[in-house]
């Protein structure tokens, strides 16, 4: 049944317009919290990034290597911007100083 459904959907013109159909992997992390931090930086930069497999990893970290880690996904239109944010994160541009005030006003 699933093979028939997949074949039907693969030939469907409507599939192009389905939400989430154009999400592409930007990065993978074996530690769910690190993936959440990077995804948060992307969202704060205006990129509608989402996480995949993060809840599964949080439940059992031993699955991380088997699943390949938590994936950060973003739409095709945001891939260059997402790559720039990823590089900025790796350079430490999103790091807070030790004296940073993180309490809301």
pLDDT for position 19: 55
Q: How confident is the model at residue 4 (pLDDT cuts 50, 70, 90)?
A: very low
pLDDT for position 20: 52
| Predicted confidence (pLDDT) per residue in 28-55, tens digit | 998 889 999 999 999 999 999 999 988 8
Tokens 């997402």 locate to 82
Q: How confident is the model at residue 21 (pLDDT cuts 50, 70, 90)?
A: low
Q: CA 94, CA 98: separation in Å to the nearest integer?
A: 13
Q: Which two tokens stand for residue 53?
A: 């497999």
Tokens 């959907």 locate to 9
Stated pTM of the model = 0.72
């Amino acid at each position: 049944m699933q093979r028939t459904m997949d074949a039907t959907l693969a030939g469907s013109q409507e599939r192009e317009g389905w939400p989430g159909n154009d999400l592409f992997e930007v990065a993978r992390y074996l530690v769910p919290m690190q993936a959440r931090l990077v995804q948060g930086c992307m969202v704060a930069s205006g990129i509608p990034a989402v996480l995949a497999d993060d809840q599964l990893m949080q439940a059992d970290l031993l699955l991380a290597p088997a699943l390949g880690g938590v994936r950060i996904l973003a739409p095709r239109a945001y891939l260059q911007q997402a790559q720039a944010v990823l590089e900025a994160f790796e350079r430490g541009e999103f790091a807070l100083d030790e004296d940073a005030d993180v309490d809301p006003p």
